[in-house]
Amino acid sequence: LRRLEVMIRRFGLEVRVSKMPQTIIRGETALLQCAFNVTGDEPLDHITIQWLHMGSNALVHSYYYGSDQLKLQSAQYSGRTSLFPDQFKHGNISLKLQGVRPSDAGQYKCHVSTLMETYYTEPNLMIRHNPPSIILSFESEGYPKADVLWYSGEEKLEPVLSETVYQQTTDNLYLLKSIMARNNTSLSEKYTFVLRNDAVKQTILRPVHLLGIGKALNFIYLGASSLYVVIMAVSLIALVALLVIIALNIMLSRRRNLQDSQRLKERMDVINGILLSQ
């Protein structure tokens, strides 16, 4: 397992990390050290911390709004990471990684920022489908205002085809909501949402692959660390086929029961005839 081998100086904070590789035995605990200079001017109650695995770009751990934010954490690190919040005031944002696995090997990057320059959170995707139109929207929070672009395939969409609004939260962050509406969803299409926060050199790209045919719409969304396949509507043909199969099964079952009853009646008639003839 290797620690991050570079020094990062951003956000008016000097971030220091170890340049020496670290070897950890499988199953043991690793301490990935990262620290920043504390001047007393930073509003640490709004501190944002992110740890990333550089090889896979997996989100290892994130901290903002005064607590750990683990819902978007990569599944392979679930339950194995922790920070030291009581040490933030001393500039210590080191990461403890428990139960080290071979897949953990690689380089790690730590990001830290304050309210003045804050990373935007993982965007939440929402889709509304009302044939033939579709509306895609992403929401995220950060600071300061970020630039947003939409792409259809490799072509940048005109600003008139999308709308981005900003609302200031009680934490003085910006809640960004960007909406893109299209009317033709008859063919498979790929749209990409791009968010750029130049203040912290952050770029988020989130592609959405639409697999729309007629009134049915499926889509594939590649999030931060996992692949989500969501079925928005069921094809009418598939639904009718399912109902036909169920109806046929019921009819066949009833026919078999009727045939069994008829055979039983015939046998009983034969037996009764024999008994009466004696």
pLDDT tens per residue across span 173-192: 899 999 998 876 555 688 89
User: Which of 195, 211, 227 is the last residue in one of the domains?
Assistant: 211
Read off the tokens for 51. Answer: 């740890």
What whole-number distance in Å separates Cα of residue 22 and Cα of residue 137? 42
Which position has the token pair 């499926």?
Answer: 218
Q: Is the pLDDT of residue 6 over 60?
A: no
- Residue 134 has what pLDDT? 84
Q: Is the pLDDT of residue 238 over 70?
A: no
pLDDT tens per residue across span 93-131: 999 999 999 888 888 988 887 666 778 988 999 988 777
Q: Is the pLDDT of residue 216 over 80?
A: no
The structural domain count of the chain equals 3
Task: Say whether both 49 and 6 belong to one domain.
Answer: yes
What whole-number distance in Å separates Cα of residue 209 and Cα of residue 121? 22
Q: In which band, very low, low, confident or very high, does the pLDDT at 240 lie, cut at 50, 70 and 90?
A: low
Task: Say whether both 59 and 150 belong to one domain.
Answer: no
User: Which of 113, 136, 165 is the last residue in one of the domains?
Assistant: 113
CATH of the domain at 176: 2.60.40.10
What whole-number distance in Å separates Cα of residue 204 and Cα of residue 145? 14
Q: Which is more confidently placed, 9 or 76?
A: 76
- Residue 80 has what pLDDT? 95
Q: What range defines the domain where residue 270 resides?
A: 212-277
Residues in the chain: 278
User: Which of 82, 113, 144 is the last residue in one of the domains?
Assistant: 113
Q: Chain-wide mean pLDDT for the chain? A: 76
- What strands, in cross-sheet order, belong to the sheet with 95-97? 30-32, 95-97, 81-82
Read off the tokens for 54. Answer: 């550089």
Span 76-103, mean pLDDT? 92
3-state secondary structure of 116: coil
Task: Say whether both 142 and 182 belong to one domain.
Answer: yes
Report yes or no on 109 lying in a domain. Answer: yes
Please name the helix (run of DSSP H) or strand (run of DSSP E) that holds residue 237, with its range, or none. Answer: helix 236-277
What does pTM read for this prediction?
Answer: 0.47
Give the pairing of strands 147-152 and 155-156.
Answer: antiparallel
Task: Say whether both 106 and 32 belong to one domain.
Answer: yes
Task: Say whether both 217 and 192 belong to one domain.
Answer: no
CA dist 117 to 11, 13, 141, 145, Å?
Answer: 6, 11, 12, 10
What whole-number distance in Å separates Cα of residue 60 and Cα of residue 93? 13
Task: Say whether both 63 and 41 belong to one domain.
Answer: yes
CB 195 within 8 A of CB 148: yes
Across 122-138, b (16+ Cβ under 10 Å) vs e yields bbebeeebeeeebebbb
What whole-number distance in Å separates Cα of residue 238 and Cα of residue 40? 64
Read off the tokens for 4. Answer: 């991050």
The total of other beta-carbon atoms located within 10 Å of residue 101's CB is: 14
144: preceding bond cis by omega (within 30 degrees): yes
Choose among 41, 82, 36, 44: nearest CA to 65: 44
pLDDT tens per residue across span 137-176: 999 998 889 999 999 888 888 876 889 999 988 667 899 9
Q: Is the pLDDT of residue 23 over 80?
A: yes
Read off the tokens for 198. Answer: 């130049």
Task: Say whether both 174 and 220 belong to one domain.
Answer: no
